Amino acid sequence: ETGVTQSPTHLIKTRGQQVTLRCSSQSGHNTVSWYQQALGQGPQFIFQYYREEENGRGNFPPRFSGLQFPNYSSELNVNALELDDSALYLCASSSGTGGGQPQHFGDGTRLSIL
């Protein structure tokens, strides 16, 4: 069974640039959620994708957007990068959106904004 994989592992960008992060879900999982984890903090929910549509969103501005593909993989796009966007971005997959299904995380993409 293949777990959640994310790419790239590290990325350095400058303010104002755009970035795309990628996630392959665990086999058998059809739901992908993205989280932002600042240093020393717990992960914060960005949004979730199910059946290629956004299925819930946290308190993040519209410059954070995403996609889900027919094979359930997903992308997180962030436009107009700001210094505060520096964080670990985590992708989690699960088998469904209802309660009782654990979300399994990848090892994240460490994004640094200069």
Partner 1 sequence: GENVGLHLPTLSVQEGDNSIINCAYSNSASDYFIWYKQESGKGPQFIIDIRSNMDKRQGQRVTVLLNKTVKHLSLQIAATQPGDSAVYFCAEKIQGAQKLVFGQGTRLTINP
Told to check if 100 binds partner 1 by CB under 8 A, we report yes
Q: Which of 8, 16, 28, 56 binds partner 1 (CB under 8 A)?
A: 56
Q: Which of 25, 48, 74, 93 binds partner 1 (CB under 8 A)?
A: 48
Segment near partner 1 (CB under 8 A), from 13-21, 61-69, 75-83, 90-98? Answer: 90-98
Segment 22-26 long-range contacts (CB within 8 Å, at least 24 positions apart): 22/73, 22/74, 22/75, 23/73, 23/74, 23/75, 23/76, 23/91, 23/93, 23/106, 24/73, 25/72, 25/73, 25/74, 25/91, 25/93, 26/1, 26/2, 26/93, 26/104
Told to check if 97 binds partner 1 by CB under 8 A, we report yes
